[in-house]
Amino acid sequence: MTAVLQSRYAKLHHRARGAGAAAAKKYYFDRKAETMSGDALSRLQLQRLRASLKNAYEHVPMHRARMKAARIRPQDVRRLEDLASLHFTLKHDLRDHYPFGLLARPRETLLRLHASSGTTGKPTVVGYSARDLEHWSALMARTLACGGARPGDVIHNAYGYGLFTGGLGMHYGAERLGATVVPMSGGATERQLVLLMDFGARVLCCTPSYALNIAEVAEREGIDLKKSKLEVGIFGAEPWSEAMRRELELRLGVRAMDNYGLSEIIGPGVAAECEAQDGLHGWEDHFLFEVIDPETGKRLPDGEAGELVITTLTKEALPMIRYRTRDITRLVRGRCGCGRHHVRLQKITGRNDDMLIIRGVNVYPSQIEAVLVGRPGLAPHYQLVVERRGSMDHLRVEVEAQPGIDAAKYEAMAKDAVHHVKSLVGVTADVAVMAPGALPRSQGKAVRVRDLRPKAS
Ligand SMILES: [Zn+2]
């Protein structure tokens, strides 16, 4: 090929790709719902909110008792703002009514149960009617499409299948979208890689920490994922930083897209990142989103950071009124470049439950991650160890060096990391740089914190 031809070819190729990207931008799984805004959306929300409150009031004794105590009946809610006068629902309410006490439908009419493994006490159990499952699949299809998946794609689903909502949630969403789903679940990473390459997956779904594990095993096995058909990573179910996004995009050769959900609300499919990568669209035709001050319970104005509170609008079997998620975020309103109007949740990088308090400083594991990932010589594998020294809590950060780094340099790298953790997060921590492979790898949800403090008796 002559140089002229080559340059022409490159231009054409570039244009074709550009046109493809523009066309891809305009794809919505449910255009009408996803681009709904203003009065039309508010009207739909109010109508659905009233119906949902009526469902909860008539069929769930706990919600009825709390509404009666507040002297509010469902028909008294005439504006969306009235939501603020309703009670909160907390995670322990699910535990206190274990297993079926908050269901608004008889158990024998449900098609599925999921449960989250609580670290303490009983799991939280959630149930789905036929209509709930239909909605969930459609919301998941929307979520996948919002992140860049398309009908006809091969979607490699490495979220765990089972009681955890991630695996089956993604699975039925992918089918609903019209994609070919490969139901891998987690683990057996070498085998995953063979099928990922052979089946030509364009989309990978898993936790970000497991995606990193996949990238590492691929590099070890001499498989170049950047030469695979993989283009999109739909990563969620654990908080992750922008630094981790860059790392995953670089190593997997994908656009790494976040999504958000929790089993108490529906599972994944509550909010999804679009190609703007500037917040996650919360699907407002099915859920109402508020941010509150976690101390006072008062609603905060848009743009202020606080605890995310979600009310379900269409859930039949397990309606949720003002569920306190313990996740920290802020809400951004207004039309997004992708054409959707649904409110954006700033990328959630912290959960109240994960927050460590080290000598009075609040620390989220993802803040430490943001400092470590991408630092010269450090690998993105880390764990935080919390210990009691005398009467003080102490934080030790264990992080691996990249392969090929001389161990004689570990100490200097650790010193540098201590300095950056102190100046960027504001906490004094010891940092131990460890040999490659020293820390456990994620098979699903990563264990970021080892708490060695004596348990309170
Ligand atoms: Zn958008």
Check pLDDT > 70 for residue 346. Answer: yes
Check pLDDT > 90 for residue 204. Answer: yes
231 C-alpha to ligand 1 centroid (Å): 19
**Residue 229 near residue 279 (C-beta atoms within 8 A):** no
Check pLDDT > 50 for residue 452. Answer: yes
CB atoms within 10 A of CB 97: 16
Q: Which residues contact 106 (CB under 8 A, 6 or more apart)?
A: none
For the purposes of burial, counting CB atoms within 10 Å of the CB of 207, is it exposed (0-12), middle (13-18) or buried (19 or more)?
A: buried
324 C-alpha to ligand 1 centroid (Å): 25
Mean pLDDT on 24-37: 88
Which helix (H) or strand (E) segment holds residue 66: the answer is: helix 61-69
Check pLDDT > 70 for residue 295. Answer: yes
Check pLDDT > 50 for residue 254. Answer: yes
379 C-alpha to ligand 1 centroid (Å): 31
Looking at per-residue pLDDT, the higher value among 12 and 379 belongs to 379
User: Picking from 14-23, 248-257, 380-389, which range would have the lowest pLDDT averaged per residue?
Assistant: 14-23
Predicted local distance difference test score (pLDDT) of residue 4: 43
Q: What order of strands is seen across the sheet that includes strand 350-351? A: 287-292, 306-312, 323-329, 350-351
Predicted local distance difference test score (pLDDT) of residue 176: 98
Check pLDDT > 70 for residue 10. Answer: no
CB atoms within 10 A of CB 168: 24
Band of residue 456 on the pLDDT scale cut at 50, 70, 90: low
Q: Token digits for 315?
A: 């859930």
272 C-alpha to ligand 1 centroid (Å): 9
Cα gap 442→214, rounded to integer Å? 10
pLDDT in tens, 14-28: 444 444 444 445 899
User: Picking from 63-72, 309-318, 386-395, which range would have the lowest pLDDT averaged per residue?
Assistant: 386-395
42 C-alpha to ligand 1 centroid (Å): 19
206 C-alpha to ligand 1 centroid (Å): 21
Mean pLDDT on 261-283: 97
Sign of the CA dihedral with 116 first, then 118, 123, and 126 last: negative
44 C-alpha to ligand 1 centroid (Å): 21
Please report where in the chains the tokens 């309606």 appear, as a residue: 319
88 C-alpha to ligand 1 centroid (Å): 29
**Residue 207 near residue 445 (C-beta atoms within 8 A):** yes
27 C-alpha to ligand 1 centroid (Å): 12
Looking at per-residue pLDDT, the higher value among 11 and 392 belongs to 392
226 C-alpha to ligand 1 centroid (Å): 26
Check pLDDT > 70 for residue 61. Answer: yes
Helix, strand and coil percent figures for the chain, each rounded to 5: 40, 25, 40
For the purposes of burial, counting CB atoms within 10 Å of the CB of 114, is it exposed (0-12), middle (13-18) or buried (19 or more)?
A: buried
178 C-alpha to ligand 1 centroid (Å): 22
283 C-alpha to ligand 1 centroid (Å): 11
Check pLDDT > 70 for residue 419. Answer: yes
Looking at per-residue pLDDT, the higher value among 251 and 2 belongs to 251
Mean pLDDT on 97-121: 90
Predicted local distance difference test score (pLDDT) of residue 120: 65
Predicted local distance difference test score (pLDDT) of residue 22: 46
Cα gap 369→329, rounded to integer Å? 18
12 C-alpha to ligand 1 centroid (Å): 28
266 C-alpha to ligand 1 centroid (Å): 21
Question: What single-letter amino acid sits at 374?
Answer: G
User: Nearest 10 degrees: CA dihedral of 42, 48, 52, 54?
Assistant: 100
270 C-alpha to ligand 1 centroid (Å): 14
139 C-alpha to ligand 1 centroid (Å): 15
Mean pLDDT on 124-147: 98
Predicted local distance difference test score (pLDDT) of residue 149: 98
29 C-alpha to ligand 1 centroid (Å): 13
278 C-alpha to ligand 1 centroid (Å): 7
Cα gap 421→378, rounded to integer Å? 14
Band of residue 9 on the pLDDT scale cut at 50, 70, 90: very low
**Residue 259 near residue 268 (C-beta atoms within 8 A):** yes
Which 3 state secondary structure label does DSSP give 388?
strand
Band of residue 352 on the pLDDT scale cut at 50, 70, 90: confident
377 C-alpha to ligand 1 centroid (Å): 35
Mean of the per-residue pLDDT values for the chain?
A: 92
- Model pTM score: 0.89
312 C-alpha to ligand 1 centroid (Å): 22
* Preceding peptide of 268 cis, ω within 30°: no
User: Picking from 40-49, 112-121, 261-270, 399-408, which range would have the lowest pLDDT averaged per residue?
Assistant: 112-121
280 C-alpha to ligand 1 centroid (Å): 7
61 C-alpha to ligand 1 centroid (Å): 39
334 C-alpha to ligand 1 centroid (Å): 10
276 C-alpha to ligand 1 centroid (Å): 6
Q: Which residues contact 275 (CB under 8 A, 6 or more apart)?
A: 25, 148, 255, 337, 338
Band of residue 1 on the pLDDT scale cut at 50, 70, 90: very low
Check pLDDT > 90 for residue 185. Answer: yes
Check pLDDT > 80 for residue 45. Answer: yes
189 C-alpha to ligand 1 centroid (Å): 32
Q: What angle do CA 9, 13, 19 make, to 5 degrees?
A: 145
Question: What single-letter amino acid sits at 359?
Answer: R
Cα gap 171→183, rounded to integer Å? 7
The percent of residues above 90 in pLDDT, for the chain, comes to: 84
332 C-alpha to ligand 1 centroid (Å): 11
Which 3 state secondary structure label does DSSP give 17?
helix
Phi (first) and psi of residue 228, to 5 degrees? -85, 180
256 C-alpha to ligand 1 centroid (Å): 15
275 C-alpha to ligand 1 centroid (Å): 7
Predicted local distance difference test score (pLDDT) of residue 18: 42
Predicted local distance difference test score (pLDDT) of residue 386: 94
329 C-alpha to ligand 1 centroid (Å): 17
Q: What angle do CA 306, 136, 185 make, to 5 degrees?
A: 95
With CA atoms as reference, report the closest residue to 27 among 274, 286, 260.
274
25 C-alpha to ligand 1 centroid (Å): 10
